[in-house]
Structure 1
Amino acid sequence: MSDDSRPDADADLNAAALAYHETPRPGKTGVEITKPAATQRDLSLAYTPGVAEPVRRIHADAQAAYRYTNRGNLVAVITDGTAVLGLGNVGALAGKPVMEGKAVLFKRFADIDVFDIEVDAETPEAFIETVVRIAPTFGGINLEDLAAPHCFDVEQALIERLDIPVFHDDQHGTAIIIAAGLLNALELQGKALADARIVVLGAGAAGIASIKLLIELGADPQRILTVDRRGVIHSGRDDLNRHKAEIAVETDRRSLEDAFQDADVFIGLSGPDLVTRAMLAAMAPRPIVFALSNPVPEIRPEVAFEVRDDLIMATGRSDYPNQVNNVLGFPFIFRGALDVRASRINNAMCIAAVHALKDLTREPVPASVLEAYGLDALTRGPDYIIPKPLDPRLRDTVSAAVAKAAIASGVARA
Structure 2
Amino acid sequence: MAIRPQEILNNPFINKNTGFTEEERKAYHLEGLLPPKVQTIEEQAVQAYHQYQSKPTDLEKRIFLMTLYNTNRTLFYHLMDEHIVEFMPIVYDPTVADSIEHYHELFMNPQDAAFLSIDDPENVADTLKNAAGGRDIRLIVVTDSEGILGMGDWGVNGVDIAIGKLMVYTAAAGINPAHVLPVVIDAGTNNEKLLNDPLYLGNKHKRVRGGRYYDFIDLFVKAATALFPEVLIHWEDFGRSNAATILEKYQNQIPTFNDDIQGTGIVVLAGILGAMNISGEKLADQRILVFGAGTAGVGISNQILDELMRHGLSEKEARKHFFLVDKQGLLFEDTEGLTPGQKGFVRSRAEFPNSRELTHLEAVVKAVHPTIMIGTSTQPGAFTESIVKEMAAHTSRPVIFPLSNPTKLAEAKAEDLIAWTDGRALIATGIPARPVQYKGVTYEIGQANNALMYPGLGLGLIASTARLVNGEILSQASHALGGIVDTTKPGAAVLPPVSKLTAFSQRIAEVVAQSVLDQNLNRKKITDVKTAIRDIKWEAEYKELVFS
Indicate the TM-score class for this superposition, using the shorter chain for normalisation. 0.7 to 0.9
Return the match for 2:59 from 6, 10, 14: 14
In 2 relative to 1, CA 136–362 (structure 1 residues): closer, same or farther, beyond 3 Å?
farther
In 2 relative to 1, CA 305–361 (structure 1 residues): closer, same or farther, beyond 3 Å?
closer
Please state how far the C-alpha of 1:221 moved relative to its aligned partner: 1.6
Please state how far the C-alpha of 1:26 moved relative to its aligned partner: 5.2
- Structure 2 Cα separation of the partners of residues 190 and 24 of structure 1: 47
Residue in 1 that maps onto 2:387:
279
- Structure 2 Cα separation of the partners of residues 281 and 176 of structure 1: 28
Residue in 2 that maps onto 1:192:
282
Gaps of 5+ in 1: 1-10, 31-68, 364-378
- Structure 1 Cα separation of the partners of residues 245 and 490 of structure 2: 39
Percent identity, aligned pairs only, is 25
In 2 relative to 1, CA 182–27 (structure 1 residues): closer, same or farther, beyond 3 Å?
farther
Residue in 2 that maps onto 1:82:
146
Are 1:385 and 2:385 counterparts? no
Larger deviation, residues 350-359 vs 305-314: 305-314
Letter in 1 for 2:330: V
What are the equivalent positions in structure 2 for 1:352-371 lying under 5 Å apart? Answer: 352-362=476-486
Residue in 2 that maps onto 1:295:
406
In 2 relative to 1, CA 287–103 (structure 1 residues): closer, same or farther, beyond 3 Å?
same
Please state how far the C-alpha of 1:27 moved relative to its aligned partner: 8.6
| Preserved CA contact (<8 Å) 2:485 2:493 | yes
Are 1:115 and 2:181 counterparts? yes
TM-score w.r.t. the length of structure 1 is 0.78
Residue in 2 that maps onto 1:265:
372
Residue in 1 that maps onto 2:203:
none
Return the match for 2:429 from 315, 318, 328: 315
- Structure 1 Cα separation of the partners of residues 417 and 495 of structure 2: 20
In 2 relative to 1, CA 127–182 (structure 1 residues): closer, same or farther, beyond 3 Å?
same
What are the equivalent positions in structure 2 for 1:1-400 lying under 5 Å apart? Answer: 12-21=57-66, 23=67, 71=136, 74-91=138-155, 93-112=156-175, 113-121=179-187, 122-123=208-209, 124-125=213-214, 126-138=216-228, 139-160=231-252, 162-163=253-254, 165-218=255-308, 220-250=318-348, 251-252=351-352, 253=355, 254=358, 255-261=360-366, 262-271=369-378, 272-283=380-391, 284-285=394-395, 286-296=397-407, 297-309=410-422, 310-320=424-434, 321-362=445-486, 382-391=491-500, 392-400=502-510
Larger deviation, residues 398-407 vs 312-321: 312-321
Please state how far the C-alpha of 1:336 moved relative to its aligned partner: 1.0
Please state how far the C-alpha of 1:305 moved relative to its aligned partner: 2.2
Please state how far the C-alpha of 1:25 moved relative to its aligned partner: 6.6
In 2 relative to 1, CA 240–75 (structure 1 residues): closer, same or farther, beyond 3 Å?
same
SS in structure 1 at match of 2:446: coil
Larger deviation, residues 12-21 vs 253-262: 12-21
Larger deviation, residues 135-144 vs 198-207: 135-144
SS in structure 2 at match of 1:143: strand
Residue in 2 that maps onto 1:43:
none
In 2 relative to 1, CA 29–260 (structure 1 residues): closer, same or farther, beyond 3 Å?
farther
Letter in 2 for 1:407: L
Please state how far the C-alpha of 1:324 moved relative to its aligned partner: 0.8
Larger Rg: 2
Letter in 1 for 2:262: H
SS in structure 1 at match of 2:483: helix
What are the superposed Cα offsets for residues 92-146 of structure 1, whole Å, 9 maximum, x if unpaired?
x201122111111111122223110111233340223323222233321011111
- Structure 1 Cα separation of the partners of residues 232 and 327 of structure 2: 35
In 2 relative to 1, CA 27–288 (structure 1 residues): closer, same or farther, beyond 3 Å?
farther
- Structure 2 Cα separation of the partners of residues 97 and 263 of structure 1: 37
SS in structure 2 at match of 1:217: helix
In 2 relative to 1, CA 381–245 (structure 1 residues): closer, same or farther, beyond 3 Å?
farther
Letter in 2 for 1:353: A
Residue in 1 that maps onto 2:11:
none
| Preserved CA contact (<8 Å) 2:427 2:493 | no
Letter in 1 for 2:475: I
Larger deviation, residues 213-222 vs 278-287: 213-222
In 2 relative to 1, CA 267–381 (structure 1 residues): closer, same or farther, beyond 3 Å?
farther
| Preserved CA contact (<8 Å) 1:348 1:409 | no
In 2 relative to 1, CA 357–388 (structure 1 residues): closer, same or farther, beyond 3 Å?
same
Residue in 1 that maps onto 2:515:
405
CA RMSD of superposed structures (Å): 2.5
| Preserved CA contact (<8 Å) 1:84 1:90 | yes
Gaps of 5+ in 2: 1-55, 75-133, 188-207, 310-317, 435-444, 525-548
- Structure 2 Cα separation of the partners of residues 402 and 192 of structure 1: 24
- Structure 1 Cα separation of the partners of residues 140 and 523 of structure 2: 20
Larger deviation, residues 345-354 vs 76-85: 76-85
SS in structure 2 at match of 1:384: coil
